[in-house]
């Protein structure tokens, strides 16, 4: 697929109404600083025809994007990671063997290792979906491990990392059994060595979907300062906060399990559900000032007048603002933010156009409030 032209982009977004009239006035409003239409739109289709981008993660000089569908457009048959460079160039960075399918679960460590989930099917339907695995790649795009565990890795669908350089925690949402797994690891002999695997949350609703294959826990965002993991649960149409998800570390959350090694049970604290804005939340990330960014996949409570929303909430679950990422429903999925010079670049995958859309916002900061820097 060639790059979508500026005329195509303008046409798509001209159909979308103003969604900001009900916003909450806030100096921390990140969505309000974004342009409605992307400034850059680049194809994520690889040379072998893989399509349907799901996950995206920032890397040096650009972003990595997973493709979940193969050239036949069957869900659960895509095997490629596409690298999108800041200068607009793209290339296939990794291709998994046949029988794998790269999901929205992708995380990158500062040491250069990339973790990516695989949730394959044989015919593009939920009837043949498999638990899959977690692939570990080095900085050169070479697979060095393929992790399997039918309980702890049961449909790895979303991911976030808590990176400390020589050690890290990798959080994975499992779309097939409705749980969240935490992998603790150290870098030993030049490779990740997993020292502990723990279920930190469970009980999220899972179900088959004709349009989205499967619905369940998806996007994750971890706040290391408070030791709280935020979960976008698509089928529940909700956002949850899981206290103590990072295990034994200092934190300030009121939950008594915070700062202990006690594994969490249950879904955590419900922050927001069925509020009229959430429509099957799927992607999740933090804004530069600590609010939550959520993408709607439109697989639950879809509203044609509010398609493919990008939503912003406080970590207490208060709605801040929203914009539509596309005039079509079901376009939004993964998202990532990268600092480039004096700008923030928000990258969102577009499942409808098979592109990575980039919106740029100026970095707002001052000595009194460096959080926007």
φ, ψ (nearest 5 deg) of residue 13: -90, -15
d(CA 364, CA 373): 6
| Residue 86: half-sphere exposure toward Cβ, Cα within 13 Å | 15
d(CA 125, CA 74): 8
Tokens 């994520």 belong to 44
pLDDT tens digits in sequence order for the chain, 373 residues long:
333 333 354 445 544 444 444 555 455 899 999 999 999 999 999 999 999 999 999 999 999 999 999 999 999 999 999 999 999 999 999 999 999 999 999 999 999 999 999 999 999 999 999 999 999 999 999 999 999 999 999 999 999 999 999 999 999 999 999 999 999 999 999 999 999 999 999 999 999 998 899 999 999 999 999 999 999 999 999 999 999 999 965 434 444 444 444 445 699 999 999 999 999 999 999 999 999 999 999 999 999 999 999 999 999 999 999 999 999 999 999 999 999 999 999 999 999 999 999 999 999 765 555 555 5
d(CA 226, CA 292): 14
Q: Give the burial class of 193: count Cβ atoms within 10 A of its Cβ; 0-12 exposed, 13-18 middle, 19 or more buried.
A: exposed
List pLDDT tens digits, range 127-169. Answer: 999 999 999 999 999 999 999 999 999 999 999 999 999 999 9
Largest separation between any pair of C-alpha atoms in the chain: 56
Q: Whole-model pTM?
A: 0.90
pLDDT at residue number 27: 52
- Residues 6+ away with beta carbon under 8 Å from 5: none
pLDDT at residue number 242: 97
d(CA 77, CA 50): 8
Are residues 73 and 37 in contact, defined by beta-carbon separation less than 8 angstroms? Answer: no
φ, ψ (nearest 5 deg) of residue 340: -130, 105
Tokens 């990422």 belong to 325
pLDDT at residue number 40: 95
- Residues 6+ away with beta carbon under 8 Å from 148: 131, 133, 134
**Dihedral, 169, 174, 179, 182 alpha carbons, nearest 10:** -10
- The continuous run of DSSP H or E covering 321 comes out as strand 319-324
d(CA 356, CA 351): 9
pLDDT at residue number 345: 98
Q: Which of 31, 15, 12, 9 is nearest to 288 (CA)?
A: 31
Task: Name the CATH superfamily for 6-361.
Answer: TolB, C-terminal domain (2.120.10.30)
Positive or negative CA dihedral for 264, 270, 271, 276? Answer: positive
Q: How would you classify the pairing of strands 40-43 and 355-362? A: antiparallel
Q: In 152-305, which ranges are E strands?
A: 156-163, 167-174, 179-188, 191-201, 207-209, 213-215, 217-223, 228-233, 238-243, 269-273, 281-286, 292-296
List pLDDT tens digits, range 61-113. Answer: 999 999 999 999 999 999 999 999 999 999 999 999 999 999 999 999 999 99
């Amino acid at each position: 697929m060639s790059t979508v032209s500026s005329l195509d982009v303008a046409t798509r977004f001209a159909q979308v109404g103003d969604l900001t009239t009900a916003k909450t006035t806030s100096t921390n409003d990140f969505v309000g600083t974004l342009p409605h239409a992307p400034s850059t739109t680049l194809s994520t289709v690889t040379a072998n025809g893989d399509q349907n981008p799901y996950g995206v993660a920032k890397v040096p000089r650009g972003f990595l994007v997973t493709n979940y569908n193969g050239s036949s457009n069957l869900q659960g048959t895509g095997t490629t990671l596409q690298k999108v460079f800041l200068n607009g160039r793209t290339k296939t960075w990794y291709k998994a063997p046949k029988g794998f399918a790269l999901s929205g679960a992708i995380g990158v460590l500062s040491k250069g290792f990339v973790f990516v989930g695989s949730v394959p099917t044989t015919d593009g339907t939920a009837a043949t979906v498999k638990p899959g695995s977690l692939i570990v790649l080095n900085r050169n795009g070479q697979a060095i491990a393929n992790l399997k565990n039918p309980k702890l890795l049961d449909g790895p669908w979303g991911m976030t990392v808590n990176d400390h350089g020589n050690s890290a925690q990798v959080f994975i949402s499992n779309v097939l059994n409705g749980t969240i797994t935490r992998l603790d690891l150290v870098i030993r002999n030049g490779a990740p060595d997993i020292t502990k695997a723990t279920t930190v949350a469970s009980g999220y609703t899972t179900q088959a979907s004709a349009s989205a294959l499967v619905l369940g826990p998806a996007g994750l965002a971890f706040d290391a300062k408070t030791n709280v993991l935020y979960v976008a649960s698509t089928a529940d149409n909700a956002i949850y906060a899981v206290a103590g998800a990072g295990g034994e570390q200092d934190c300030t959350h009121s939950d008594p399990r915070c700062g202990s090694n006690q594994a969490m049970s249950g879904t955590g604290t419900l922050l927001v559900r069925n509020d009229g804005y959430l429509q099957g939340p799927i992607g999740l990330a933090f804004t530069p000032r600590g609010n939550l960014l959520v993408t709607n996949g439109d697989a639950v409570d879809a509203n044609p007048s509010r398609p493919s929303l990008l939503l912003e909430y406080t970590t207490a679950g208060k709605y801040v603002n929203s914009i539509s990422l596309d005039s079509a429903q079901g376009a939004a999925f993964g998202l990532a933010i990268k600092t480039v010079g004096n700008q923030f670049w928000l990258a969102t995958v577009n499942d409808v156009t098979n592109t990575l859309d980039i919106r740029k916002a100026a970095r707002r900061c001052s000595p009194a409030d460096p959080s926007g820097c």
